[in-house]
Amino acid sequence: MAHAEALATLRERLAAAPRWCVLSGAGMSAESGIATFRDAMSGLWSRFDPMQLASEAGFRADPARVWDWYAERRAGVRAAQPNAGHRALGAYAQRHPGRLTVITQNVDDLHQRAGNTDALRLHGDVLGERWLDRCRRDPGCHPDWALAGSPPHCERCGNLVRPDVVWFGEPLPLAVFDAAQRAVDAAAVLLVVGTSGAVWPAAGLVARAHRAGAWVAILNPEASEVDDEADQCLRGTAATLLPALLDGL
């Protein structure tokens, strides 16, 4: 089926869908200048070992190195702007409240800044902070009160501040993951945008949607690990395909 025809039929399905979902990954923010993880050359994982940097053990082994890496990524997120793909999803949600659920693996805030303020963040918020350990002295102690440093720390008990993200080996926030599972169970269509589908349990949402009877469409310039679960794959980028699918809907 020609690309234009494939786009047109998917657009009709979205127009008719009472409820649908997007599952997004790093490719969603690539055109906003935020590096993806697996891109061979520029991807974060081609330059850094995820287990050393995005894990509790890695942070405890070298807190300053991990904190500085996240500080670099936070600066990149603050300097970035939502792209045409984020904006198309945000504008659609304004026009059709309650029909779209955005589920993201991204720890940036570009979906929220584009208007999808209720996006489900499976892997946390890189601009957020929390204590590494439960404060032994004062459970009410807040990370904002921490002494500045790399990383900031509690001057009384030495507790470290960590980014509010889900590291490898850590469970996803249960309430968020539950809400994501319920959303894909109720969806007529799932758009899988800019993810390699390599990270679990997020990747499992694609097969779950398919089992639940949703029409699964993948938007990605490359093949991904979840293509087998798809009813159609549209080869293209988030900032080009999403406006083509949603503008005017």
Q: Which residues are annotated as a binding site?
A: 70, 73, 105-108, 135, 141, 154, 157, 194-196, 220-222, 238
CA 64 vs. chain centroid, Å, equals 25
Spatial distance between the Cα atoms of 46 and 36, rounded to a whole number of angstroms:
10
Q: Which is nearer to ligand BV8, 93 or 166 (CB)?
A: 166
* Residue 215, helix vs strand vs coil: strand
Q: Residue 18 CB, nearest distance to ligand BV8 (Å)?
A: 26
Q: Which is nearer to ligand BV8, 7 or 154 (CB)?
A: 7
Residues placed in the known binding site for Zn(2+): 135, 141, 154, 157
Q: Which is nearer to ligand BV8, 127 or 212 (CB)?
A: 127
Q: Which is nearer to ligand BV8, 87 or 123 (CB)?
A: 123
Residues placed in the known binding site for substrate: 70, 73
Spatial distance between the Cα atoms of 185 and 204, rounded to a whole number of angstroms:
12
**Which DSSP state fits 193?**
E
**Among this protein's residues, is 3 annotated catalytic?**
no
Active-site pick, 86, 111, 123, 210: 123
Residue nearest to ligand BV8 (CB): 27
Q: Residue 203 CB, nearest distance to ligand BV8 (Å)?
A: 7
Spatial distance between the Cα atoms of 233 and 56, rounded to a whole number of angstroms:
36
Residues contributing to the site for ligand BV8 (CB under 6 A): 25-27, 30-31, 36-39, 43, 54, 105, 107, 123, 165-171, 194-196, 198-202, 220-222, 224, 237-238
Spatial distance between the Cα atoms of 202 and 60, rounded to a whole number of angstroms:
26
How many CA within 13 A on the CB side of residue 147? 8
Which whole-number Å values give the CA distances from 116 to 71, 97, 100, 113, in the listed order? 25, 10, 9, 7
Identify the CA nearest to 218 among candidates 209, 202, 230.
Answer: 230
Strands of 146-240, DSSP E: 161-165, 189-193, 215-219, 232-234
Q: Residue 46 CB, nearest distance to ligand BV8 (Å)?
A: 10
Residues placed in the known binding site for NAD(+): 105-108, 194-196, 220-222, 238
Q: Residue 146 CB, nearest distance to ligand BV8 (Å)?
A: 20
Q: Residue 118 CB, nearest distance to ligand BV8 (Å)?
A: 19
Q: Which is nearer to ligand BV8, 19 or 43 (CB)?
A: 43
Rg (CA), the chain: 19
Residue 47 tokens read as 């330059």
Spatial distance between the Cα atoms of 212 and 246, rounded to a whole number of angstroms:
24
- Residues with catalytic function: 123
